[in-house]
Structure 1
Amino acid sequence: MANPTFWVGVAFVIFFGLLFYYGVPGNVMNQLDSRGKRIADELAEAQRLRQDAEKLLKEFEAKRAAAEREAAEIVSSAKEEAERMAREAQEKMADFVTRRTASAEAKIAQAEAQAAAEVRAAAIDAAVKASERVLRQEITGNTAASLVSQGLNDVRSKLQ
C-alpha cells in the first residue's frame, strides 16, 4: 500500500467512478450527439440552400437565354422593318422620279408644239404679207384689191 502507483490507480478509479456517478460521460455524449446533430442539420440546410441556389441559377440562365433570344428577334425584326422601309422609300422615290420625268416630258412636248404653232403662225403671217406686197405691186385697181383680199384669206385658212 505504500506504492504511489497503487494510489494513483485508486484515485483514477475513484475519479472515473465519480464521473459515472454524476453522469458526466452521458452528458458529454449527449452534448456531442446534439452538436453532431446540429452540424448535420446545418450541413443539410447548406445542401438545401445550395440546391436552391443552383435551381435559381438555372432559372436565371434560362431567363437570360430567353431575353437574349427575344433581343435577337427584336433586332432582327427591326432590321427587316428598316430594310422594308428603305425599299418602300426607294420605290416611292423611283415612282416620284418617273412621274416628274413624265410630267417634264409632257411639258416639253407641249412647249415644242406651242413653239411649232407659233413659228408656223409667224411664217404664215410673213408669207401672207410678202404675197400681199408682191401682188399689190403687180396688180392694181379694185379687182386687185378684191383678189388680194380673197387670196390672202384663202392662204390664211389653208395654212392654219
Structure 2
Amino acid sequence: MKKLIAVLALTASPALAASGPFFSLRNTDFIVTLAFIVFIGILLYAKVPAKIAAMLDGRAVQIKAELDEARALREEAKVLLASYERKQKDVIEQANRIVASAKEEAMAAAAQAKADLQVSIARRVAAAEDQIASAEQSAIRAVKDQAISVAVAAAGDVLAKQMTAEGAAASIDAAIAQVDAKLH
C-alpha cells in the first residue's frame, strides 16, 4: 500500500505535467484530475469513509450518552435544589418559631420578674410600715413614761410642799386602812 502511494505521488507530480491535449500526461489538469481520482480510490479501498462513519457514529453515541447523563444530572440537581429549598424553608420557619418562643418566654420572664418585684416591694413596704408602727408605739410609750415620770415628780413636789406632819400621818393611816381592807 505504501509503495502504491509513493508511485502515484511521483507519477502525479506537477513536474511531469505540461500543456497539451487533455488526455495527455503533460496536461496539468488531467494529472490533477487523475491524482484526485486515485486518491479517492485509495480512500475507498482503505475503507476510510466506513471508518470515518463508524468514528462519527461512535462519537454520536458517546455524545448522546453524555447528553442523557447531563439530563439525568440536571434532573437530579433540580430534585436536590428543591429538597434544599424545602429544608431551607423549614429551617427558616423553625428559626421563626424559636424566635417567637424566645420572645414569649422573655415576656413571661419579664412579667414574672415584675410580679416578683411588686411582691418584694409590697413586703418591704409592709416591713417598713411595721417598723414605723413599732417606732410610733415606742415613741408613744416613751412619751407616756416620760409624762408619768414628770407627773409623779410634779405630784411629789406638790405633795411635798402641801404636806404637813398631820396630813402625812392621816394619809399614811388611810393608806394602811385601804391595804388592810383589801387584804382581808
Same fold per TM (> 0.5)?
Answer: yes
Which residue does the alignment assign to 1:104? 128
Alignment of 1:12-51 (within 5 A): 12=37, 16=40, 18-51=42-75
CA distance in 2, matches of 1:80, 1:33: 69
Letter aligned with residue 152 of structure 2 = V
Q: In the alignment, which of 103, 107, 111 is matched to residue 87 of structure 1?
A: 111
Aligned residues: 148
Letter aligned with residue 28 of structure 1 = I
Change in CA separation of 1:29 and 1:50 when aligned onto 2, cut-off 3 Å: same
Structure number with bigger Rg: 2
Change in CA separation of 1:71 and 1:139 when aligned onto 2, cut-off 3 Å: same
Shift of 1:136: 2.1
**1:41-63, Cα deviation, whole Å (9 max, x unpaired):** 11111111111211221111112
Change in CA separation of 1:145 and 1:34 when aligned onto 2, cut-off 3 Å: farther
Shift of 1:3: 4.5
CA distance in 1, matches of 2:71, 2:110: 58
CA distance in 1, matches of 2:169, 2:120: 60
Shift of 1:23: 2.8
**1:61-90, Cα deviation, whole Å (9 max, x unpaired):** 112112211221222222122211111111
Which residue does the alignment assign to 2:154? 130
Change in CA separation of 1:132 and 1:31 when aligned onto 2, cut-off 3 Å: same
Using the size of structure 1 for normalisation, the TM-score is 0.77
1:52 matched to 2:80: no
- Contact 1:19–1:25 under 8 Å retained in 2: yes
**1:102-151, Cα deviation, whole Å (9 max, x unpaired):** 0000110111111111111111121122122212222212652673895x
Shift of 1:30: 1.3
CA RMSD, 1 decimal? 2.7
Which residue does the alignment assign to 1:155? none
Which residue does the alignment assign to 2:142? 118
Which residue does the alignment assign to 2:87? 63
Change in CA separation of 1:57 and 1:38 when aligned onto 2, cut-off 3 Å: same
Change in CA separation of 1:146 and 1:114 when aligned onto 2, cut-off 3 Å: farther
Unaligned runs of 5+ in 1: 151-160
Q: Share of identical aligned residues, percent?
A: 37
Using the size of structure 2 for normalisation, the TM-score is 0.68
- Contact 1:136–1:144 under 8 Å retained in 2: no
Letter aligned with residue 53 of structure 1 = A
Higher RCO (CA < 8 A, seq sep 6+): 1
